[in-house]
């Protein structure tokens, strides 16, 4: 009878690499002193590669979307 040699193999289980998506807030509160001013005078604030623009009506900073250009709430008040 032939003896069989069993190879001892060790299996190493690596932890599963789950990708966690960062939660992005739609609106944030920022001190205006920490915000930057764009060329046209609007205030913005960058967080983790996302840009938030100030709504002058309610004072919050909202995540950028295309409708902000036509919305007068995102334009700075006219100084006399």
Q: Which two tokens stand for residue 33?
A: 């002193």
What does the chain come to in residues?
Answer: 80
Query: Percentage of the chain with pLDDT > 90?
Result: 56
Provide the residue ranges of all domains of the chain, joining segments of one domain with +: 27-74
Q: Which two tokens stand for residue 16?
A: 């599963």
The answer, as to whether pTM is greater than 0.85, is: no
Average pLDDT, the chain: 86
Average of pLDDT values for 57-66?
Answer: 94
């Amino acid at each position: 009878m032939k003896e069989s040699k069993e190879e001892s193999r060790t299996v190493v289980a690596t932890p599963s690499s789950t990708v966690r998506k960062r939660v992005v807030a739609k609106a944030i509160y920022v001190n205006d002193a920490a915000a930057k001013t764009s060329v046209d005078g609007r205030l913005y604030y960058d967080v983790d590669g996302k840009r938030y623009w100030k709504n002058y009506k309610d004072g919050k900073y909202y995540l950028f979307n295309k409708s902000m250009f036509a919305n007068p709430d995102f334009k700075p008040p006219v100084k006399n």
